[in-house]
Structure 1
């Protein structure tokens, strides 16, 4: 378990943010590789053909910089193009195990005590793996990481969120839903629908969502990132989502009713009211939202992100990295940037982690234990 690259703290000092217990809900496996691992796997071990995968750079530092520059495009579609590189080196059992193992270690180095790792197994079959073999390989890697950490006296829980793609045929999303159900007793905590939102409504995957609802498997859906309120409506109504992946454009359903000096009255539309009143968690990822242009209508700077608006209005906001490699970020960095932008204190950072614990796809007793661990860790800080 390596140490974080930088020691992040609140603007007024205080404890290292990396040392605080944290929960990671929205973190993509294929977006969290180490650049050095990509270079090594591109030499053949993790590719489908066993041959060298062409990279934009074969120096880890240069490749790391390329991912960040390429991802800062202002477009989700362009942002997603970088994944052809990482997915390309994750096509064998050995590669999936290694990436998952390192993923856990890197989360732990950032103070994460519970992580939910999402990924799309259908993208990792070029090397001959079946869907089940791919899920089993990732779970083995996650388990290896947890054991490795336990030997270093770091307790961590981690599970998979199996993801289907909006652009895939509905028969494929149904197959992925069935896959998730087969492995719910072997590390799979829930189901996700991801990918370009515009033109690919959640309703197209109704058969998968109906099955998951009948079997009571928790669902989160990417929505309100590359598309607006209709995307979020689809996640809630068609997907029965208990969490919304990103969901930042829910702020479009918040209107300013009146300003009187320092006082502002706002109104919530029906979708925003439903999400807030039922405490459906928003998996916000500020740096990623800036890179993909998800907050373009509010601005292009971190302090213009509607995160604080949603927080102050009582939404269950959570802080996430989305893709640590592409955004060059960590949970500690995201929290530090938010604290700097909105003058947050330690109590605010704790609230975000308690929100994430409450929204995790763990059983109630485990969620309570996780909340207790977070509270104890912040009390000691």
Structure 2
């Protein structure tokens, strides 16, 4: 079926902002408002590199724009430092949902590592409860315009993954949708946490694994074939298993074929990948080829503060870099909703009653 003229027109930024969006890969401690960081830091005496909100936001972006994942991760020292009390966690969680809803996000899974928020005496359970309170307050205030779930992350260089996996299962029916591991990939393969993943599988629980961001195909292979990941956090290095000949012929290796055949979702974060050196630019990001090859590609923000981004920004950059239309953005969005760690009937309801009508209204408004 040929595209209609309206489908071939590049959407405006305002249309992208209005479009319903789904976010699967967003870090709570990577999305704080600079003004909130300054206020919370002042309350606890934490020293920041600069003291006004505009300069602080710029500092985070510059520090993260190093093309080094290790340096990128160092910026979290400041955000995590101000998220050590129940009140602070609730505020950050509430503001996160407010910001996402204002950006047109209708479903989001927001991840963070509970083990990083216990230095001032909170228990792991209290951390999750504080975050959930913030999510509940904001979603109620939004009047049902957004659904948000938690993903509990274990740090891959620590040894608390089984503890966090148990926590995720305990909170499964109270706002937590799944589990994740994150942190520097090199030297910390996902198989170090195999017992946690096996436990989650026995409990019929969902999990994603940061893999194929700063490290290559072995990380992706282990995440899928050893650990059983439902989704790949980033997964950008799957491109290393795809060969494009001079005549344009594309050949997929065994792992890439498996990922595509099994429809394993890729949680792609273009701006973040450019910052950490996983891609040279958004226009050269492997998301273009992977989309052409119809992998299960989703678009995400990763860390909105460090990348100075939003879902609208990410989609606008893809429109500029690849000429995508509203039809393409709708495809990314439905891909993400299909891949969410939400019960099937709830996913279908959002697709049919929110996403499809939302994009139809934009197309008809031209």
TM-score category of the 2 structures, normalised to the smaller one:
over 0.9
Which residue, 136, 154, 159 being the options, matches 1:143?
Answer: 136
Cα distance in 1 for partners of 2:15, 2:140 equals 25
Residue 367 (structure 1) aligned with residue 360 (structure 2): no
CA RMSD of aligned residues (A): 1.1
Cα deviation per residue 1:192-226 (whole Å; 9 max; x = unaligned)?
Answer: 01111111011110110010000011110000001
Secondary structure, counterpart of 2:51 in structure 1: coil
1:159 aligns with 2:149: yes
Shift of 1:15: 5.1
How far has the Cα of 1:43 moved from its partner? 1.0
* 2:90 aligned partner: 97
Q: Secondary structure at the match of 2:283?
A: helix
The answer as to 2:64 corresponding to 1:55 is no
Distance 1:11 1:314 in 2: 20
> In the alignment, which residue of structure 1 is the partner of 2:227?
239
Shift of 1:16: 2.1
Alignment check: 8 A CA contact 1:202 1:234 kept: yes
The within-5 A match list for 1:216-295 is 216-257=204-245, 259=247, 264-295=248-279
**Normalising to structure 2: TM-score of the pair?**
0.95
Distance 1:341 1:198 in 2: 30
Q: Which residue of 2 aligns with 1:7?
A: none
Q: Distance in 2 between matches of 1:238 and 1:167?
A: 18
Secondary structure, aligned partner of 1:325: coil
The CA distance in 2 between the partners of 1:232 and 1:176, in whole Å, is: 22
Q: What is residue 357 of structure 1 aligned with on the other side?
A: 337
**Aligned position for 2:193:** 205
1:102-148 per-residue CA deviation (whole Å, 9 max, x = no partner) reads: 00000000000001010000000011000000000000110011011
The 8 Å contact of residues 219 and 239 in structure 1, kept in 2 or not, is answered as no
2:357 maps to which residue?
Answer: 376
Matched, 1:26 2:25: yes
Contact 2:61 2:306 in 1 (8 A): yes
Cα distance in 2, alignment partners of residues 338 and 63 from structure 1: 27
C-alpha separation in 1, matches of 2:199 and 2:281: 41
Task: Tell me how far apart the structure 2 counterparts of residues 238 and 36 of structure 1 sit (CA, whole Å).
Answer: 43
> Match of 1:112?
105
Q: Is the 8 A contact 1:258 1:266 kept in 2?
A: no
The SS at the match of 1:255 is strand
CA contact (8 A) 1:163 1:176 kept: yes
Deviation at 1:238, TM superposition (A): 2.5
| Paired residue secondary structure (1:175) | helix
Partner of 1:5: none
Q: Distance in 2 between matches of 1:354 and 1:180?
A: 26
Q: What's the CA shift string for 1:239-286, capped at 9, x where partnerless?
A: 211110000010000012451xxxx21111111111101111100000
- Residue by residue over 1:283-330, the C-alpha shift from the partner in whole angstroms, topping out at 9 and shown as x without a partner, is 0000000000112xxxx2221111110000010100000000000000
Runs of 4+ in 1 over 6 A off after TM superposition: none
C-alpha distance in 2, partners of 1:131/1:270?
Answer: 40
Distance 1:339 1:239 in 2: 35
Instruction: Give, in whole Å, the separation in 2 of the partners of 1:30 and 1:148.
Output: 22
Moved more, 365-374 or 33-42: 365-374
Q: Does 1:329 align with 2:309?
A: yes
The answer as to whether partners of 1:110 and 1:332 remain within 8 angstroms in 2 is yes
The 5 Å alignment of 1:30-45 reads 30-44=29-43
Could you tell me which runs of 5 or more consecutive residues in structure 1 were left unpaired when the two chains were aligned: 1-9, 45-50
Matches of 1:74 and 1:124, distance apart in 2: 27
> 1:177 pairs with 165, 169, 173, which one?
165
Structure 2: runs of 5+ lacking an equivalent:
1-8
Distance 1:115 1:205, change over 3 A: same
Residue in 1 that maps onto 2:120: 127
Residue in 2 that maps onto 1:304 = 284
Write the deviation string for residues 333-352 of structure 1: whole angstroms up to 9, x where unpaired: 10000010001111000000
Q: How many residues align?
A: 353
Q: Give the distance between the partners of 2:23 and 2:282, measured in 1 at CA.
A: 20
Structure 2 distance, partners of 1:68, 1:13, is 25
